[in-house]
Amino acid sequence: MASPAVAETDAAMPLNKTLRAALLMALTAGSTAALLGGCASNPVTGSPDLVFQSEAGEIKKSKEVHPLIVQQFGGPYEDQQLQAYVNEVGQRAAKASHRPDLEYHFMVLDSEDINAFTTGGGYVYITRGIMNYLNSEAELAAVLGHEIGHITARHPVRQQSKSTLSNIGAAAVGIFTGSADLAGLANYAGAALVSGYGRDQELEADRLGAEYLTKTGYSSESMIDVVRLLKNQEMFEIARAREEKREPRVYHGVFATHPDNDQRLTEVVKAADKLKGGPTDNLDPGREKYLKVIEGLPMGPSRSQGVLKGNRFYHADLGLTVVFPTGWNVENQADRVIAISPQKDSVLQMQTQAPPPNTGPREFLSRLLARSSASQSEPIEVNGLQGYTAVVRAASTPFGMMPTRYVVIYHNNLAYIFAGASKASTGTPKADPLFMSTVKTFRRLKQNEFALAEPYKIKTIRATETTRIADLAKKSPLPEYAEEQLRLLNDLYPNKEPQPGQLIKIVE
């Protein structure tokens, strides 16, 4: 849960993470009045290309949705040196592209998601989550080059011409919200919802990305290296999700449509080597440089998003901690923390909002629930913090219209809003006692707990002849699947070992 900006007036809650797919897919479509009919010349092929948006329109739309993207992915990552490094690598690839005069913007998003994407118009985003798994500057250039390939071939604009218009209702925005502002933003994102890039467009982006790699002094093989390591991560995540009985957190961005041993992929990537005119085996991929640059990257949520240690949530910037029920699955999302019972029949979420000036917890909750029929309203004090609680008789929840427990607690000029619901409940949620016991663990961080609120971070070490991943895993603070995660981080999955003298990543 990212630290919110404290506003002086009512602040609309951020969009839920469930809208990310819509935002990633639907960002280049403008209103009908802004569309330009007819054919334009494709920047890559030079042949006529049926699109319904000018370059100026493409840039304008990408610029407009940029703040939404940044908000949804937890903001830009705060390390300016890392941002500058990624921008420098991206700009070099962009200058070698078919649209070198376009103004490009490269941003590292403060998200543990494994993703990279473009909204067209020169805007390219990469998460710090995917950067943890890359192992060289060449691999970073491959990811950025692939997205530049989508831009130069105008895939976002071409896809818009085939879009399936869709209207995402307010219910898709988040759990228990019902905000008119949120519904408007949801409809805005949903108005141009399209399917992902097709196989041919992904291959074209691979081919172009490999070409830009070669032109900037890297081997095109780095493109296939990235596909391999990300596919390994995806396979592990799917297997882990199956074991944990949950949906896998896999992305549909870079390279999602093909395996690393795909013959067509190999052909289009290797074709780029002909542009170099010489052997590529001895090209420096910039491995050690890259690994030194990413040292210190968070593994999982960052400090500004709060961290989970078991089922206890710590947030150093906000100075708070809360314990969610034992055995529940807890997810720290960009705008909220959500806990789901093992039977998936109860859910509790916590999110923040800046309250209006001179508004106490009772008034705040009354405004929030103004359109709902509430009962059991009463003030509450939690570890010296003032709050207010009520039960709404019927609220929109993942289980349909159900009774929902709301609690608001004030801490450091922010309102912390808890909402809990259970399936097949009447009167009050079935898990209401558990909801209230969780709320009562909410408190200020003690001075000796701030160290616990620090995230796990990437560190590099030099492998020796005796270095084994299994041994490193035994010392790792990663609570689960430490050996598998270390292998994935170093492209040693499933059973390879590092070479003596090789710089490798560990987690501390």
pLDDT at 271: 84
Q: How confident is the model at residue 201 (pLDDT cuts 50, 70, 90)?
A: confident
Q: What is the pLDDT of residues 30-81, one digit of tens each?
A: 333 333 344 567 888 776 666 667 889 899 989 998 998 888 888 999 999 9
Q: Is residue 354 located within the same domain as residue 408?
A: yes
Is position 368 within any domain?
yes
Task: Give the helix, strand, coil percentages of the chain, each rounded to 5.
Answer: 35, 20, 40
Contact 429, 346 (CB under 8 A): yes
Number of domains in the chain: 3
Q: Is residue 98 located within the same domain as residue 162?
A: yes
Q: How confident is the model at residue 261 (pLDDT cuts 50, 70, 90)?
A: low
pLDDT at 152 over 60: yes
pLDDT at 358 over 70: yes
A 10 A CB-CB count for 209 gives 32
Is position 298 within any domain?
no
pLDDT at 278 over 60: no
Q: Is residue 204 located within the same domain as residue 314?
A: no
Task: Tell me the mean pLDDT in the region 430-438.
Answer: 98
Best-predicted range by mean pLDDT among 83-87, 158-162, 195-199? 83-87
Q: Is residue 370 located within the same domain as residue 247?
A: no
Task: Tell me the mean pLDDT in the region 334-357.
Answer: 94
Last residue of a domain, one of 293, 322, 353: 293
Q: Is residue 284 located within the same domain as residue 337?
A: no
Q: Is residue 495 located within the same domain as residue 347?
A: no
pLDDT at 260: 53
**More confident site: 34 or 240:** 240
Q: Is residue 286 located within the same domain as residue 325?
A: no
CATH number, residue 464: 3.10.350
pLDDT at 140 over 80: yes
What is the H or E stretch that residue 438 is in? Answer: helix 432-439
- Give me the amino acid identity at 506: I
Is position 10 within any domain?
no
Q: How confident is the model at residue 450 (pLDDT cuts 50, 70, 90)?
A: very high
Last residue of a domain, one of 241, 263, 293: 293
pLDDT at 199 over 90: no
pLDDT at 232 over 50: yes
Contact 83, 140 (CB under 8 A): no
Task: Tell me the mean pLDDT in the region 310-324.
Answer: 96
Task: Tell me the mean pLDDT in the region 472-486.
Answer: 95
Is position 2 within any domain?
no
Six token digits for residue 225: 């290296």
Q: Is residue 400 located within the same domain as residue 425?
A: yes
364-383 in b/e form (b: 16+ CB < 10 A) is bbbebbeebebeeeeebebe
Beta partners for residue 308, in sequence order:
313
Task: Tell me the mean pLDDT in the region 211-238.
Answer: 92
- 292's CB contacts (< 8 A; 6+ apart) are 460, 503
pLDDT at 478: 92
Is position 373 within any domain?
yes
Nearest to 476 by CA among 487, 466, 465: 487
Say how far apart CA 19 and CA 12 lie, in whole Å.
16
Is position 12 within any domain?
no
Nearest to 44 by CA among 115, 119, 149, 135: 149
Q: What is the average pLDDT score of the chain? A: 83
pLDDT at 247: 81
Six token digits for residue 501: 């003298």
Last residue of a domain, one of 267, 293, 319: 293
**More confident site: 370 or 181:** 370
pLDDT at 52: 64
Q: Is residue 440 located within the same domain as residue 461?
A: no
Q: Is residue 92 located within the same domain as residue 134?
A: yes
**More confident site: 82 or 176:** 82
Q: Is residue 317 located within the same domain as residue 223?
A: no
Q: What is the pLDDT of residues 124-135, one digit of tens each?
A: 999 999 999 999
pLDDT at 348 over 50: yes
Which of 25-29, 296-300, 382-386, 441-445 has the least mean pLDDT? 25-29
Which of 222-236, 256-270, 447-461 has the least mean pLDDT? 256-270
Q: What is the pLDDT of residues 322-336, one digit of tens each?
A: 999 999 999 998 889
pLDDT at 282: 63
Nearest to 320 by CA among 454, 420, 450, 435: 450
pLDDT at 182: 36
Region of residue 255 (phi > 0: left; psi between -120 and 50: alpha; otherwise: beta) = left
pLDDT at 362 over 60: yes
Which percentage of the chain shows pLDDT scores above 70? 80
**More confident site: 276 or 326:** 326
Is position 5 within any domain?
no
What sign does the CA torsion over 89, 104, 162, 172 have? positive
**More confident site: 18 or 317:** 317
Q: Is residue 478 located within the same domain as residue 439?
A: no
Nearest to 408 by CA among 431, 389, 385, 384: 389
Which domain, by its residues, includes 245? 17-293
pLDDT at 196: 52
The strand pair at 414-422 and 400-411 is best described as antiparallel
Is position 7 within any domain?
no
Cis peptide before 4 (omega within 30 of 0): no
